[in-house]
Structure formats: C-alpha cells, structure tokens
Amino acid sequence: MTFAREAWPFVLPFGLLAAALLWLRHPAWAAAAALGGLGTLLFFRVPAREAPTGEGVVVSAASGRVLSVERLPASEVGDGPYHRIATFLSVFDVHVQRAPVAGRVVSIAHTPGRKLAAFRAGADRVNERRLMVLDSAGERFGVSQIVGLVARRIVTWVGEGDRLDRGQLYGLIKFGSRVDVYVPVEYTVTVQRGDRVVEGETVIARREGA
C-alpha cells in the first residue's frame, strides 16, 4: 500500500508537533499527535487493486456504500439516458478514484458549488463537483467527484486526451464524500443500494450479452 502525495501537507504538521511535544517531555500528548498524523495519513492510502478482465465490464470508481441507482438523462455525458450509480465515501473509506472503464478522457468540467452532506438529495446538483467524461470504444461514460461536509478539495491527476486503463488511478477527494458513475442503459447494473463496493475491483455493470 502506498499513499497519495497530497497527504504530506496534512501529515507533516502532526509529525512536527509530536516531535516538539516529545522534546518538551510530554509523551502522552506527543503520542496523541502521532496518532492524529497516522489517522490523517490513512485518509490518503492507495491500496493495491486488480481490475477484472473481460469485455463489457464496468468497475466502481470509488470505495464506499452504494447510495442510489437511478436511470436518468445526462446530456453532459452523452446522448440518451444513463444509469447513475452513486457511491458515498465515509471518512473511513479509501478516498482515491479509479477509471471505471478503459478509454480516452473527452472532457473534465469543474462546477463550483456548496458543501452540503453528500448523501442528501440534490447534492449532485448543488455541491462543488468535477465531471470526467470517457470515450470507451465509442461509448460515453461519466465519473463525477462530488464534495460534502468534510471534503474540501477535488484532485484530478489526468487531463483531456489522456488514455486510461480500467481501474487506473485518476484522482481523489480529500476526506471523502460522493462519486457518481454514469453508465449507458445498454448495460445491466449489478449492484444495488446499500452494497459495499471497492474502487477498481467491484463490477457495478456489464454490457448485455458480454
């Protein structure tokens, strides 16, 4: 397991504080600061994942609990209706995101907004978010990173034109929140509300006949 580089501005102050407290002979407070740093570091963990192989497979972009599965139009992604699979990330979940399919990044659009609880109805429309659209063999897929009460920044490590493999790391939401995956309706959703999913590994949809 590795850690995202964005962790260090948050973790290093805890380490410096722990060292200072230890030097001042306050071992209990130093231990508390060290534990705080360790806990913060775990927010940025990047576990090893192995994406499933095969055609017509869509994997979860985030780790957490499925918040909802809906069918709705998504003109910002592509033509026609889409399945939208929303996943809620608690502060205890892995916070990195991975590409649900292999494809080329068509667009990345950032929308400023509020920071309501990500599990609330309408948070996907009013909260700050970043939508990445992927073209996979002529089909369009979308992944939306959405902030919440605790999350304060969205990070995306790729740009338009980049090619991603299924399960490849592409970003994170600092301290969690919500990730929505948009899948063409020709695919069959294989998860339901309440299911636990793992980013880059859990199959959330399959193409009919694949």
Handedness of CA 112, 183, 175, 165 (dihedral sign): negative
Active site residue 177: yes
Q: Provide the Cα torsion 182, 186, 190, 191; round to 10°.
A: 30
- Compute the distance between CA of residue 209 and CA of residue 186 in angstroms, rounded to an integer: 10
Using an 8 Å Cβ cutoff, are 104 and 186 in contact?
A: no
User: In the numeric block, which tokens belong to residue 44?
Assistant: 């940025």
Query: What does the DSSP assignment read for 76-138?
Result: TT-SSEEEEEEEEE-TTS--EEE-SS-EEEEEEEEE--B---TTSTTHHHHB-EEEEEEEETT
Out of 60, 63, 144, 177, pick the active-site residue. Answer: 177
The catalytic residue positions are 177
